[in-house]
Protein backbone atom coordinates (compact mmCIF):
# COMPACT_ATOMS: atom_id res chain seq x y z
CA UNK A 1 0.00 0.00 0.00
CA UNK A 2 1.33 3.43 -0.95
CA UNK A 3 1.06 6.06 1.72
CA UNK A 4 2.68 9.36 2.59
CA UNK A 5 2.14 11.62 5.59
CA UNK A 6 3.09 15.27 5.99
CA UNK A 7 2.15 17.66 8.78
CA UNK A 8 -0.91 18.83 6.84
CA UNK A 9 -1.55 16.14 4.23
CA UNK A 10 -2.12 12.37 4.15
CA UNK A 11 -2.17 10.23 1.04
CA UNK A 12 -3.18 6.62 1.43
CA UNK A 13 -3.67 4.30 -1.50
CA UNK A 14 -6.07 6.46 -3.51
CA UNK A 15 -7.40 8.76 -0.77
CA UNK A 16 -6.18 12.24 0.09
CA UNK A 17 -6.89 14.10 3.34
CA UNK A 18 -5.73 17.55 4.35
CA UNK A 19 -5.41 19.28 7.70
CA UNK A 20 -7.69 22.32 7.50
CA UNK A 21 -5.23 25.15 8.19
CA UNK A 22 -8.10 27.62 8.62
CA UNK A 23 -9.06 25.87 11.86
CA UNK A 24 -5.59 26.00 13.43
CA UNK A 25 -4.45 26.53 16.11
CA UNK A 26 -7.72 25.93 18.01
CA UNK A 27 -8.88 22.82 16.10
CA UNK A 28 -7.16 19.92 14.38
CA UNK A 29 -9.59 19.10 11.62
CA UNK A 30 -8.76 16.57 8.88
CA UNK A 31 -10.85 16.72 5.70
CA UNK A 32 -10.96 14.06 3.00
CA UNK A 33 -10.82 15.55 -0.48
CA UNK A 34 -14.00 14.49 -2.30
CA UNK A 35 -13.44 15.68 -5.86
CA UNK A 36 -11.62 18.27 -7.95
CA UNK A 37 -14.12 21.07 -7.16
CA UNK A 38 -13.67 20.32 -3.47
CA UNK A 39 -9.87 20.52 -3.74
CA UNK A 40 -10.10 23.82 -5.65
CA UNK A 41 -12.33 25.21 -2.87
CA UNK A 42 -9.90 23.98 -0.19
CA UNK A 43 -6.97 25.60 -2.01
CA UNK A 44 -8.76 28.89 -2.66
CA UNK A 45 -9.99 29.20 0.93
CA UNK A 46 -6.45 28.45 2.18
CA UNK A 47 -7.57 25.32 4.03
CA UNK A 48 -4.55 23.90 2.24
CA UNK A 49 -1.91 26.48 1.44
CA UNK A 50 1.74 27.33 0.88
CA UNK A 51 3.52 27.14 -2.46
CA UNK A 52 5.01 23.62 -2.20
CA UNK A 53 1.99 21.94 -0.59
CA UNK A 54 -0.66 23.13 -3.04
CA UNK A 55 1.43 21.61 -5.86
CA UNK A 56 1.84 18.36 -3.97
CA UNK A 57 -1.87 18.17 -3.10
CA UNK A 58 -2.72 18.74 -6.78
CA UNK A 59 -0.50 15.94 -8.11
CA UNK A 60 -1.57 13.53 -5.36
CA UNK A 61 -5.20 14.27 -6.18
CA UNK A 62 -4.50 13.29 -9.79
CA UNK A 63 -3.27 9.95 -8.41
CA UNK A 64 -6.54 9.66 -6.45
CA UNK A 65 -8.56 10.36 -9.61
CA UNK A 66 -6.47 7.93 -11.69
CA UNK A 67 -6.94 5.18 -9.11
CA UNK A 68 -10.68 5.88 -9.16
CA UNK A 69 -10.62 5.01 -12.86
CA UNK A 70 -10.82 8.47 -14.48
CA UNK A 71 -9.63 8.44 -18.08
CA UNK A 72 -6.72 10.49 -19.43
CA UNK A 73 -9.02 13.17 -20.90
CA UNK A 74 -10.72 13.70 -17.53
CA UNK A 75 -7.37 13.72 -15.72
CA UNK A 76 -6.07 16.39 -18.08
CA UNK A 77 -9.19 18.48 -17.46
CA UNK A 78 -8.73 18.11 -13.68
CA UNK A 79 -5.08 19.09 -14.03
CA UNK A 80 -6.07 22.26 -15.93
CA UNK A 81 -8.72 23.08 -13.33
CA UNK A 82 -6.26 22.69 -10.43
CA UNK A 83 -3.60 24.68 -12.30
CA UNK A 84 -5.95 27.68 -12.35
CA UNK A 85 -6.92 27.47 -8.66
CA UNK A 86 -4.31 29.99 -7.44
CA UNK A 87 -2.22 32.22 -9.70
CA UNK A 88 0.95 33.23 -7.87
CA UNK A 89 2.74 30.15 -6.51
CA UNK A 90 4.46 28.60 -9.52
CA UNK A 91 5.13 25.31 -7.69
CA UNK A 92 1.54 24.37 -8.52
CA UNK A 93 2.12 24.80 -12.27
CA UNK A 94 5.61 23.28 -12.12
CA UNK A 95 4.50 20.07 -10.44
CA UNK A 96 1.43 19.65 -12.66
CA UNK A 97 3.56 20.24 -15.77
CA UNK A 98 5.85 17.44 -14.64
CA UNK A 99 2.99 15.00 -14.04
CA UNK A 100 0.91 15.91 -17.13
CA UNK A 101 2.94 13.85 -19.67
CA UNK A 102 2.11 10.71 -17.64
CA UNK A 103 -1.66 11.19 -17.43
CA UNK A 104 -2.37 8.71 -20.22
CA UNK A 105 -0.39 6.00 -18.39
CA UNK A 106 -1.82 3.48 -15.88
CA UNK A 107 -2.83 4.61 -12.40
CA UNK A 108 0.16 2.89 -10.72
CA UNK A 109 2.56 4.95 -12.86
CA UNK A 110 0.71 8.18 -12.08
CA UNK A 111 0.65 7.39 -8.38
CA UNK A 112 4.37 6.53 -8.31
CA UNK A 113 5.21 9.82 -10.04
CA UNK A 114 3.01 11.89 -7.70
CA UNK A 115 4.48 10.23 -4.63
CA UNK A 116 7.99 10.84 -6.01
CA UNK A 117 7.17 14.57 -6.15
CA UNK A 118 6.11 14.40 -2.49
CA UNK A 119 9.39 12.65 -1.58
CA UNK A 120 11.35 15.19 -3.61
CA UNK A 121 9.87 18.05 -1.58
CA UNK A 122 10.87 16.36 1.68
CA UNK A 123 14.45 16.10 0.38
CA UNK A 124 14.47 19.68 -0.96
CA UNK A 125 13.43 20.98 2.48
CA UNK A 126 16.26 19.03 4.15
CA UNK A 127 18.79 20.38 1.69
CA UNK A 128 17.55 23.96 2.16
CA UNK A 129 17.95 23.61 5.91
CA UNK A 130 21.56 22.42 5.46
CA UNK A 131 22.35 25.28 3.09
CA UNK A 132 20.80 27.89 5.40
CA UNK A 133 22.35 26.68 8.64
CA UNK A 134 25.72 28.50 8.28
CA UNK A 135 23.86 31.84 8.11
CA UNK A 136 22.73 31.38 11.71
CA UNK A 137 25.00 32.49 14.56
CA UNK A 138 24.33 31.29 18.10
CA UNK A 139 21.29 33.07 19.57
CA UNK A 140 20.58 35.04 16.40
CA UNK A 141 17.32 36.93 16.17
CA UNK A 142 15.45 36.12 12.98
CA UNK A 143 12.40 37.91 11.69
CA UNK A 144 10.00 35.95 9.50
CA UNK A 145 6.70 36.53 7.74
CA UNK A 146 3.83 34.18 6.85
CA UNK A 147 4.25 30.44 7.47
CA UNK A 148 6.96 28.32 5.91
CA UNK A 149 7.41 25.22 8.08
CA UNK A 150 5.95 21.73 8.01
CA UNK A 151 2.40 22.95 7.38
CA UNK A 152 2.94 24.32 3.84
CA UNK A 153 5.43 21.66 2.65
CA UNK A 154 5.78 17.89 2.54
CA UNK A 155 8.85 18.14 4.75
CA UNK A 156 10.33 20.35 7.45
CA UNK A 157 9.69 23.60 5.58
CA UNK A 158 11.77 26.28 3.89
CA UNK A 159 12.51 29.43 5.96
CA UNK A 160 11.15 27.82 9.12
CA UNK A 161 12.93 24.57 8.22
CA UNK A 162 16.24 26.43 8.51
CA UNK A 163 15.16 27.82 11.90
CA UNK A 164 14.25 24.40 13.33
CA UNK A 165 17.50 23.01 11.89
CA UNK A 166 19.42 25.75 13.74
CA UNK A 167 17.50 24.85 16.89
CA UNK A 168 18.48 21.18 16.49
CA UNK A 169 22.09 22.24 15.97
CA UNK A 170 22.03 23.92 19.39
CA UNK A 171 22.16 27.48 18.03
CA UNK A 172 19.08 28.56 20.02
CA UNK A 173 17.63 30.95 17.42
CA UNK A 174 15.02 33.50 18.49
CA UNK A 175 12.20 34.27 16.05
CA UNK A 176 10.23 37.49 15.64
CA UNK A 177 6.96 36.27 14.15
CA UNK A 178 5.08 38.72 11.95
CA UNK A 179 1.34 38.30 12.56
CA UNK A 180 0.79 38.34 8.74
CA UNK A 181 -2.50 40.15 8.36
CA UNK A 182 -5.20 39.58 7.31
CA UNK A 183 -5.29 35.77 7.60
CA UNK A 184 -2.78 35.33 10.41
CA UNK A 185 -0.47 32.73 8.88
CA UNK A 186 2.18 34.03 11.30
CA UNK A 187 0.08 34.19 14.46
CA UNK A 188 -2.03 31.08 13.88
CA UNK A 189 0.47 28.83 12.11
CA UNK A 190 4.09 29.94 12.59
CA UNK A 191 3.66 30.58 16.33
CA UNK A 192 1.99 27.15 16.53
CA UNK A 193 4.84 25.41 14.68
CA UNK A 194 7.55 27.19 16.70
CA UNK A 195 5.82 26.33 19.95
CA UNK A 196 5.69 22.65 18.89
CA UNK A 197 9.38 22.78 17.95
CA UNK A 198 10.35 24.49 21.22
CA UNK A 199 11.89 27.51 19.44
CA UNK A 200 11.87 30.81 21.40
CA UNK A 201 9.72 33.42 19.67
CA UNK A 202 7.57 36.50 20.07
CA UNK A 203 4.60 37.54 17.96
CA UNK A 204 4.26 41.13 16.77
CA UNK A 205 1.83 43.00 14.54
CA UNK A 206 3.26 43.43 11.03
CA UNK A 207 3.37 47.17 11.59
CA UNK A 208 5.77 46.74 14.56
CA UNK A 209 8.55 45.31 12.40
CA UNK A 210 10.04 48.74 11.64
CA UNK A 211 10.47 49.54 15.31
CA UNK A 212 12.22 46.19 15.88
CA UNK A 213 14.76 47.00 13.15
CA UNK A 214 15.17 50.54 14.51
CA UNK A 215 15.92 49.14 17.96
CA UNK A 216 18.62 46.86 16.50
CA UNK A 217 16.73 43.74 17.51
CA UNK A 218 16.77 41.89 14.18
CA UNK A 219 19.94 40.09 13.00
CA UNK A 220 18.50 38.63 9.81
CA UNK A 221 15.25 38.16 7.89
CA UNK A 222 14.37 34.80 6.35
CA UNK A 223 11.13 34.31 4.46
CA UNK A 224 9.75 31.89 1.87
CA UNK A 225 8.71 32.46 -1.73
CA UNK A 226 5.87 31.72 -4.13
CA UNK A 227 7.66 32.53 -7.38
CA UNK A 228 11.22 33.52 -8.22
CA UNK A 229 11.50 35.16 -11.63
CA UNK A 230 14.46 34.75 -14.02
CA UNK A 231 15.98 38.01 -12.75
CA UNK A 232 15.57 37.01 -9.08
CA UNK A 233 12.56 39.22 -8.33
CA UNK A 234 10.64 37.20 -5.75
CA UNK A 235 6.93 37.02 -4.92
CA UNK A 236 5.94 36.10 -1.37
CA UNK A 237 3.12 36.84 1.07
CA UNK A 238 2.10 40.50 1.02
CA UNK A 239 4.19 42.42 3.55
CA UNK A 240 7.47 40.80 2.51
CA UNK A 241 8.51 43.78 0.36
CA UNK A 242 8.05 46.10 3.36
CA UNK A 243 10.49 43.92 5.34
CA UNK A 244 13.03 43.91 2.50
CA UNK A 245 12.95 47.71 2.32
CA UNK A 246 13.39 47.92 6.09
CA UNK A 247 16.23 45.40 6.04
CA UNK A 248 18.06 47.41 3.37
CA UNK A 249 17.55 50.65 5.29
CA UNK A 250 18.81 49.19 8.56
CA UNK A 251 21.63 47.11 7.02
CA UNK A 252 20.16 43.72 8.00
CA UNK A 253 20.63 40.69 5.66
CA UNK A 254 17.43 39.60 3.93
CA UNK A 255 17.19 36.01 2.68
CA UNK A 256 14.62 34.03 0.70
CA UNK A 257 14.48 30.27 1.41
CA UNK A 258 12.84 28.25 -1.37
CA UNK A 259 13.18 25.07 -3.39
CA UNK A 260 13.99 25.20 -7.10
CA UNK A 261 10.36 24.22 -7.78
CA UNK A 262 9.58 27.88 -6.94
CA UNK A 263 11.79 29.20 -9.76
CA UNK A 264 10.08 30.35 -12.97
CA UNK A 265 12.79 30.91 -15.60
CA UNK A 266 10.08 31.79 -18.16
CA UNK A 267 9.02 34.79 -16.08
CA UNK A 268 11.32 37.75 -16.78
CA UNK A 269 10.64 39.78 -13.62
CA UNK A 270 8.28 41.44 -11.16
CA UNK A 271 5.85 42.89 -13.71
CA UNK A 272 5.13 39.44 -15.17
CA UNK A 273 4.27 37.74 -11.87
CA UNK A 274 0.49 37.37 -11.47
CA UNK A 275 -0.60 38.58 -8.04
CA UNK A 276 -3.66 37.03 -6.46
CA UNK A 277 -6.44 39.43 -5.56
CA UNK A 278 -8.04 38.16 -2.32
CA UNK A 279 -11.71 38.64 -1.36
CA UNK A 280 -12.81 41.85 0.40
CA UNK A 281 -14.38 39.83 3.23
CA UNK A 282 -10.92 38.98 4.57
CA UNK A 283 -10.53 42.66 5.48
CA UNK A 284 -14.12 43.60 6.24
CA UNK A 285 -14.85 40.99 8.89
CA UNK A 286 -13.31 38.49 11.27
CA UNK A 287 -15.65 35.58 11.90
CA UNK A 288 -18.93 37.24 12.85
CA UNK A 289 -17.31 40.53 13.78
CA UNK A 290 -17.48 43.39 11.32
CA UNK A 291 -14.14 45.24 11.03
CA UNK A 292 -15.15 47.95 8.55
CA UNK A 293 -18.39 49.48 7.25
CA UNK A 294 -20.06 47.03 4.86
CA UNK A 295 -19.39 47.82 1.24
CA UNK A 296 -16.02 49.46 1.95
CA UNK A 297 -13.85 49.16 -1.14
CA UNK A 298 -10.69 47.15 -0.50
CA UNK A 299 -7.20 46.53 -1.85
CA UNK A 300 -6.26 43.03 -0.72
CA UNK A 301 -3.41 41.50 -2.73
CA UNK A 302 -2.24 38.11 -1.45
CA UNK A 303 1.38 38.70 -2.40
CA UNK A 304 3.96 41.34 -3.23
CA UNK A 305 7.20 41.17 -5.17
CA UNK A 306 10.59 42.00 -3.70
CA UNK A 307 13.09 43.17 -6.31
CA UNK A 308 16.26 41.07 -6.53
CA UNK A 309 18.32 44.13 -5.60
CA UNK A 310 16.90 44.02 -2.06
CA UNK A 311 17.67 40.32 -1.54
CA UNK A 312 21.00 39.33 0.05
CA UNK A 313 20.67 35.70 -1.07
CA UNK A 314 18.37 32.80 -1.89
CA UNK A 315 18.74 29.72 0.30
CA UNK A 316 17.94 26.92 -2.15
CA UNK A 317 18.46 23.19 -2.55
CA UNK A 318 21.11 24.11 -5.16
CA UNK A 319 23.06 26.14 -2.61
CA UNK A 320 23.12 29.74 -1.44
CA UNK A 321 22.51 31.85 -4.54
CA UNK A 322 23.81 35.41 -4.47
CA UNK A 323 23.83 36.07 -8.21
CA UNK A 324 20.27 35.92 -9.62
CA UNK A 325 21.65 34.98 -13.07
CA UNK A 326 21.42 31.41 -11.72
CA UNK A 327 17.61 31.55 -12.06
CA UNK A 328 17.63 32.11 -15.83
CA UNK A 329 19.99 29.23 -16.64
C1 LIG B 1 7.00 27.23 2.19
S2 LIG B 1 5.64 28.23 1.93
C3 LIG B 1 6.25 29.63 1.01
C4 LIG B 1 5.19 30.59 0.62
O5 LIG B 1 4.17 29.91 -0.04
C6 LIG B 1 4.65 31.36 1.83
O7 LIG B 1 5.63 32.23 2.28
C8 LIG B 1 3.41 32.12 1.43
O9 LIG B 1 3.48 33.23 0.95
C10 LIG B 1 2.13 31.40 1.56
O11 LIG B 1 1.00 32.15 1.20
P12 LIG B 1 -0.44 31.50 1.40
O13 LIG B 1 -1.38 32.53 0.85
O14 LIG B 1 -0.62 31.28 2.87
O15 LIG B 1 -0.47 30.23 0.60
Looking at residues 33-49, what average pLDDT do you find? 98
Looking at residues 33-44, what average pLDDT do you find? 98
User: Please, where in the chain does CATH 1.20.120.420 lie?
Assistant: 3-126
pLDDT tens digits, one per residue of 195-209: 999 999 999 999 999
* Of the candidates 47, 48, 34, the residue with the CA atom closest to the CA atom of residue 78: 34
Q: Is 226 a catalytic residue?
A: yes
Binning pLDDT at 50, 70 and 90, where does residue 66 land? very high
pLDDT tens digits, one per residue of 113-130: 999 999 999 999 999 999
Testing ligand 1's pocket by substitution, the residue of 164, 178, 237, 263 carrying the most ligand atoms inside 8 A of its CB is 237
pLDDT tens digits, one per residue of 78-115: 999 999 999 999 999 999 999 999 999 999 999 999 99
- Residue 146: CB within 6 Å of ligand 1? yes
Binning pLDDT at 50, 70 and 90, where does residue 59 land? very high
Within 10 angstroms of residue 173's Cβ, the number of other Cβ atoms is 25
Average pLDDT, the chain: 98
What local confidence, expressed as pLDDT, does residue 303 receive?
Answer: 98
- Residue 224: CB within 6 Å of ligand 1? yes
The fold adopted by the segment(s) 128-328 is Rossmann fold (3.40.50)
pLDDT tens digits, one per residue of 138-175: 999 999 999 999 999 999 999 999 999 999 999 999 99
Q: Pick the atom of ligand 1 nearest to 236's CA.
A: 9
- For atom 15 of ligand 1, the residue with the nearest CA is 50
Q: Do residues 125 and 161 make contact, with C-beta atoms less than 8 angstroms apart? A: yes
| pLDDT reading at 329 higher than 90 | no
Superfamily of domain 3-126, CATH level 4: translation initiation factor eif-2b, domain 1 (1.20.120.420)
* Of the candidates 256, 263, 253, 249, the residue with the CA atom closest to the CA atom of residue 306: 256
Testing ligand 1's pocket by substitution, the residue of 50, 92, 157, 159 carrying the most ligand atoms inside 8 A of its CB is 50
- For atom 12 of ligand 1, the residue with the nearest CA is 50
- For atom 1 of ligand 1, the residue with the nearest CA is 148
User: Please, where in the chain does CATH 3.40.50.10470 lie?
Assistant: 128-328
- Residue 313: CB within 6 Å of ligand 1? no
Q: Which residue in the list 121, 219, 226, 233 is annotated as catalytic?
A: 226
Testing ligand 1's pocket by substitution, the residue of 126, 178, 225, 278 carrying the most ligand atoms inside 8 A of its CB is 225
pLDDT tens digits, one per residue of 242-269: 999 999 999 999 999 999 999 999 999 9
- Residue 158: CB within 6 Å of ligand 1? yes
Rounded distance between C-alpha atoms, residue 51 and residue 55, angstroms: 7
Rounded distance between C-alpha atoms, residue 299 and residue 264, angstroms: 26
> What ipTM does the predicted assembly reach?
0.99
Q: What is the pTM assigned to this prediction? A: 0.98
Looking at residues 213-236, what average pLDDT do you find? 98
**What share of the chain has pLDDT > 90, as a percent?**
99
Amino acid sequence: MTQRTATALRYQNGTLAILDQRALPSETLWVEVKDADHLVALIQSLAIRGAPLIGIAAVLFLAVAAKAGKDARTLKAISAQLRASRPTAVNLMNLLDRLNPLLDKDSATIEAAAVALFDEDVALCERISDVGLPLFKKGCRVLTHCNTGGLPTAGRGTALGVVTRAQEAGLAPFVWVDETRPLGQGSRLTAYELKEAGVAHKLQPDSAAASLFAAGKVDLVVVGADRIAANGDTANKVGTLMLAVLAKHFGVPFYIAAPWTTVDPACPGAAAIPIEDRPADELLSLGNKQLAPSGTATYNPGFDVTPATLISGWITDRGLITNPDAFSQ
